[in-house]
Chain A
Amino acid sequence: MKIDQVPMKGLTSEEYERAIKIKWQPKLQYAWDNGIAIGKYLAGLKEGKILASQCIKCGRIMLPVRSFCELCWRPTDGEVEVKDTGVINTFAICHVNWDASRLRPDEPRHIPAVIEIDGASKGQGIMHVIGNVDPKKVKIGMRVRAVWKPAQERTGTITDIIFFEPY
């Protein structure tokens, strides 16, 4: 057999529709523990604060929060509150949903971004979404601030911050 004589041909869409198939839709449910560090982070979000971990050995103020410093390989030295403002490191304007289905023209576009949070060490960013802005006006380097849910509606999740908006 020569390498240029490759097997398989692939099904056409019509053949695929006709083919006998077994379908399975998993209905699995998971309960993910927040963990020690992220648990504190979420409790902070519920209070309208962004917490970061500090390591007194390397001096980093780290986001996301973590129980141990992966560079110094030692426990972190507690959490400090950082600002709820930051700078857009990079962003995208997304026209599809998580499963690759397309947004309708009238639906708002998703604007995911990496946001470097003020008060954390240089480059310590988190992923969140940008809102309350014309997507065409979003730029790298733009300053943004967290828009929080009202205190009574916060549940201790990342979505307690609805989005970050330019200011």
Chain B
Amino acid sequence: MGYRKVAIVGAGLTKFVRRAEETGQEMAYLASKMALDQAGLKLKDVEMVTVGSAPDAFDGVHMKGEYLLSGAGGNGKPYIRNFVGGGTGVFAPIHGWMHVASGACDVCLVVCSEKMSSCHPHPQGAFLTIFDHTTEQPLKPTLIWIFALEMRRYMETYGLTKADVARVAVKNKNNALDHPSAHVAEAVTLEDVLNSEVLAEPVNRLDISPSSDGAAAVVLASEEVAKRLTDKPVWIAGVGWNLDTAYWATKDLYYPRYVEKAARMAYEMAGITEPHKQIQVAEPYDPFDYKELHHMEGLLLCERGEAARLTAEGYTARTGNLPICPSGGALGVGNPISATGLMKVIEIFLQLREEAGKRQVPGKPRVGLAQAWGDLMQVGTVIVLKR
């Protein structure tokens, strides 16, 4: 389709923590420096920079893109912030891909930095204004409402139990024990999840990922530059993104059609016709445990309603047929919104390079996928990577 080939040639990641002493800028610097060092590049080699960060309300910093500029190495360069809510973390490398695939530049730095801990008493309060100001906010909604509503609709449609869903939290939190960035890696059991505090039935505390501070960065390069820099480039084979209506209560919440549309776009570009067979490792977005199941189905990695059974059978374990969230995901590694999405892209990058250490999935995977999701059950962002 006339796109130039684009590779990821370096990645950087901070720890995900509950409260970082570092500012968003400082975290962006740490991740960016690490990514450039790994790529063997200096800042002067970076031609363009794109930054992803979630709503300004979390940090209380307006014009956050401009604020993060220096930490992200964007001084005096073509620089822009991208934003599609919780989908930002996977959209950011898609945005970077546009820069390089179009021929606008050969080297683009992609940075996601998120400081969730500044908002008090809890960043959840900052989500109030995502709801319609006239028809919804007067009902005093909390963010958990919309997840609880979707989770119940999903469970009811397929007759799933709480345990069917909670197995995802158990898998991911245990996977995160092997991730050096993990915020709350815990050897939790199914009983721990089911017995955790009930927040909004059917959602318990441990069904939800923790709010974290953290940053991630990747360096993208054109084919010629990538081959010069590394003998292990990981290619961006396909990208897709899609947004559905903000009238969230008018679409049946049991199935994320917008994720399917984003996935189909990415699969077509990547030449993937049978995703359940061709995708060998995947990192769908898992801010809540049921979301991983929901997204596996939307990504066409299994039949609708089948994801919970596959999880129970170990199919999605790190050693299973289709490892899902071998990183530990948002549930285990933590959820600094935009940085989480990019962490997932980095996990696939490492898995395809066979550099994931204890998290390495067997079978020398060649094709992997990362996906993020966000807004009012609205946006799917998908990236397919190949080595």
Interface on A for B, CB 8 Å cutoff? 1-11, 15-16, 19, 23-24, 26, 30, 32, 34-35, 38, 41-42, 62-64, 66, 70, 89-101, 110, 112-114, 123-129, 135, 140, 157-159
Known: A32-B134, A90-B150, A93-B200. A10 touches B17 (CB 8 A): yes
Q: Known: A92-B152, A95-B200, A98-B125. Contact between A42 and B141, CB under 8 A?
A: no
| Cβ contacts under 8 Å, A6 to chain B | 13-15, 34, 180-181
Q: In the complex, what residue of chain B is closest to A92 when comparing beta carbons?
A: B148
A100 touches B121 (CB 8 A): yes
- Contacts known (A1-B38, A127-B141); A8 close to B20, Cβ less than 8 A: yes
Assembled-state Cα–Cα distance A90/B155 (Å): 10
Provide 29 A-B residue pairs closer than 8 Å at the C-beta atoms, listed in order of the A residue: A1-B37, A1-B38, A3-B346, A4-B357, A5-B180, A7-B15, A10-B18, A10-B21, A11-B17, A15-B21, A19-B21, A89-B253, A90-B152, A90-B253, A92-B149, A94-B145, A95-B200, A96-B144, A98-B125, A100-B121, A110-B145, A112-B145, A114-B153, A123-B251, A124-B250, A127-B139, A127-B141, A157-B138, A159-B138
Residues of B within 8 A of A70 (CB): 245
Give me 4 other A-B pairs in contact (C-beta within 8 A), A6-B14, A90-B152 excluded: A6-B181, A92-B201, A123-B252, A159-B139
For residue A135, which residues in chain B have a CB less than 8 angstroms away from its CB? 201
What are the residues of chain B within 8 A of A32 when measuring CB–CB?
133-134
Which residue among A11, A90, A91 has the maximum number of chain B CB atoms within 10 Å of its CB?
A: A90
- Asked if A10 contacts B355 (CB within 8 A), the reply is no
Compute how far the CA of A110 lies from the CA of B148 in the bound complex, rounded to whole angstroms: 12
Q: A70-B245, A89-B153, A140-B156 are in contact. Are A10 and B19 (CB under 8 A)?
A: yes
CB neighbours of B27 from chain A (8 A): 8
Residues of A within 8 A of B198 (CB): 95
Set B15, B140, B156, B355: member contacting A8, Cβ < 8 A:
B15
CB-nearest residue of chain B relative to A140?
Answer: B156
Contact indicator A38/B249 (Cβ below 8 Å): no
One digit per residue, 1 when the CB lies within 8 angstroms of any chain A CB and 0 when it does not, for chain B 258-282 equals: 0000000000000000000000000
Chain B residue numbers with a CB within 8 Å of A62 are: 250
CA distance A125 to B30 in the complex (A): 46
**Chain A residues closer than 8 Å to B245, beta-carbon distance:** 70
Shortest CB-to-CB span from B76 to chain A, Å, is 25
Interface size on B, residues (CB 8 A): 65
Instruction: For A9, list chain B residues within 8 Å (CB).
Output: 15, 17
Q: In the complex, which residues of chain B have a beta carbon less than 8 angstroms from the beta carbon of A38?
A: 134-135
Instruction: Give Cα A10–Cα B20 distance, bound, in whole angstroms.
Output: 4
Closest B-chain residue to A159, C-beta based? Answer: B138
In the complex the two chains form, is A112's CB within 8 Å of B250's CB?
no
With A99-B124, A112-B141 in contact, do A92 and B251 touch (Cβ < 8 Å)? no
For the complex formed, measure the closest distance between the CB of B55 and the CB atoms of chain A, giving whole angstroms: 14
Alpha-carbon separation in the docked complex, A114 to B19 (Å): 35
What distance in Å separates the Cβ of B335 from its nearest Cβ neighbour in chain A? Answer: 14
One of A11, A30, A126 near B19 (C-beta < 8 A) = A11
For A70, the closest partner residue in chain B by CB is B245
Q: A3-B11, A8-B22, A140-B152 are in contact. Are A98 and B135 (CB under 8 A)?
A: no
Which A residues are CB-close (under 8 A) to B134? Answer: 32, 34-35, 38, 42, 157-158
Of all chain A residues, the one with the shortest Cβ separation from B247 is A64
A2 vs B369: C-alpha distance in the bound complex, in angstroms? 23
Greatest chain B CB density within 10 A among A11, A63, A129, A159 is at A11
Task: Kindly list chain B residues whose C-beta atoms are within 8 Å of the C-beta of A10.
Answer: 15, 17-21, 183, 213
A10 to chain B, nearest CB (A): 3
- B21 neighbours in A (Cβ, 8 Å): 8, 10-11, 15, 19
Q: B122 near A: Cβ within 8 Å?
A: yes
